[in-house]
Amino acid sequence: MLMMRKVGKNFIIISAVLILFITQFSVALAEDTKVSVSAPDEVKPGDVFSAYIMIEDVTDFVAGQFDLSFDSDVITVVDVKNGEIESQDVPILAWNFKPGTDNYLRVVYDLPGADGVSGSGYLAEIIFEVKGADGDTSSIEISNLQLGNKNAEEITADWSSGEVKVDASATPQPTTIQESTYQGSSGYAFNETETSGEATITTSEKVTRSIPAIQAGTKTSVVFSDMDISMITLEVDQDLSNIELSMQPRDLPREIPEPDGVLYSSYEIKAEELDGVEVTATIDFRVLKSWIEENSIDKATITLNRYHNGKWQELPTFMAGEDENFVNYQAESTGFSYFAITGEVVTGSEMTPASRDATSTPIPTTTSLEAESTAGTEITWGVIIAAILLTAVICAAVFIFLSKRK
């Protein structure tokens, strides 16, 4: 009888310890930081929609980054906006595409102050435009997720991706995009407009970008939307700060003659704090295919021209690809003034292909943490159930062993 009491007592103690362990294990799993993509399941062709990078149960979060990949033939990023955790803004420090790609995005975020924030919310709002056709799908995949706390320690997290499908019969969800300011190294600005899916370039107002700093020899890009000139990438020969870059579509002044060729559009671009600085500006622009067809323009002759020293200069211009609505180009300039996009009427039965392709050069990758994190783990309640069953087996084995010792 005494032995049976000891066996029962030992069984209870072992069971209590194991149950406590399982409970703590389950709580720890439940409190793991989780990051996920929240996006609509279905979108219409031409829609603009937001995907939120959600975060749950983070503690003392201060900074980090993540990479986002997607099918650029189906959706494309047009803006990245600040996140929010427990009513506190998560400022986007920089966002840019991996060099040579248009479907691999890196986003870097950094909270002001050193206290950090705890709770749940979203790290960033990614605004996409739908380029694909009915039936197309694209995953939105997170990778290289890095989260840091106020003690400069890495916060481990599980993450999961999302997917969107293009469905022409989906309920239309037009998105009103408010003007956003320049953030870090890259950012779009939109006049308030409601997208309809029709290919148009609507902005006619002056848009100004403030660049906090540029390091000598590095490339810094500023991006414009609803304009023919979509991005300007600057490279300078000295460190600079507080650069103001402005651009406005406008008619040419009377004292400036039109350049040769058929005029598509003209712009005035100004840059402050660049006097005496050697600058190379890579200018990305686009031309509507409908204009090319209506005016019988040879797309290989389209050129960006700069008015300098009293005359027009043809800038080195190359095709950079095309999509359903636009032909994209890239040109280089060593300064700013008035610019004009022109083309020549087709003279033969066939259009001559461009001499070579060029891809836009995004800004250098910015990182705020040194180590690249590994892929997120996926732990489900199945693991917990298995652990509980294992505990029961262990307890039974211990009970049988102690009973035999009797």
In the chain, how long is the greatest CA-to-CA distance? Answer: 113
152 CB-side CA count, 13 A? 2
Residue 46: pLDDT band (50, 70, 90) is confident
Collapse the DSSP code of 322 into the 3-class scheme (helix H, G, I; strand E, B; otherwise coil) and give the result. strand
Tell me if 140 sits within 8 A of 51, measured CB to CB: yes
Mean pLDDT, residues 7-13 taken together: 55
Tokens for 100? 């040579």
Residue 20: pLDDT band (50, 70, 90) is low
pLDDT at 7 over 70: no
pLDDT of 399: 67
**Strongest mean pLDDT among 203-212, 223-232, 340-349:** 340-349
Tell me if 63 sits within 8 A of 48, measured CB to CB: no
376-390 pLDDT, tens digit per residue, is 444 445 556 666 777
Q: Is 189 exposed, middle or buried (0-12, 13-18, 19+ CB in 10 A)?
A: buried
The better pLDDT of the pair 176, 12 is held by 12
pLDDT of 311: 95
Note if the pTM is more than 0.75: no
* Residue 304 parent element (H or E): strand 297-308
213-255 pLDDT, tens digit per residue, is 788 888 777 777 668 898 888 889 998 888 888 898 888 999 9
Q: Which residue has the tokens 């840091």?
A: 148
CA-CA-CA-CA torsion sign (52, 37, 166, 361): positive
**Angle, vertex CA 80, rays to CA 190 and CA 213, nearest 5:** 85
Closest CA to 271 of 211, 331, 181, 189: 211
Tokens for 138? 């694209």
**Angle, vertex CA 108, rays to CA 149 and CA 43, nearest 5:** 115
Q: How far apart are the first and last CA of the chain?
A: 10
Tell me if 390 sits within 8 A of 352, measured CB to CB: no
Q: Which residue has the tokens 């996009």?
A: 341
Mean per-residue pLDDT over the chain, rounded: 76
Mean pLDDT, residues 197-211 taken together: 61
3-state helix, strand, coil in the chain (%, to 5): 15, 45, 40
Q: Which residue has the tokens 């389950």?
A: 26
282 CB-side CA count, 13 A? 17
Distance CA 304, CA 312 (A): 10
Q: Is 239 exposed, middle or buried (0-12, 13-18, 19+ CB in 10 A)?
A: exposed
pLDDT of 179: 33
Q: Looking at the DSSP assignment, which residues form a beta bridge with residue 26?
A: none
Collapse the DSSP code of 115 into the 3-class scheme (helix H, G, I; strand E, B; otherwise coil) and give the result. coil
Distance CA 77, CA 231 (A): 14
Distance CA 249, CA 176 (A): 22
138-175 pLDDT, tens digit per residue, is 999 999 898 888 887 889 999 899 999 999 887 654 33
- Amino acid 278 reads E
Name the CA dihedral angle for 245, 251, 254, 258, rounded to a multiple of 10 degrees: 100
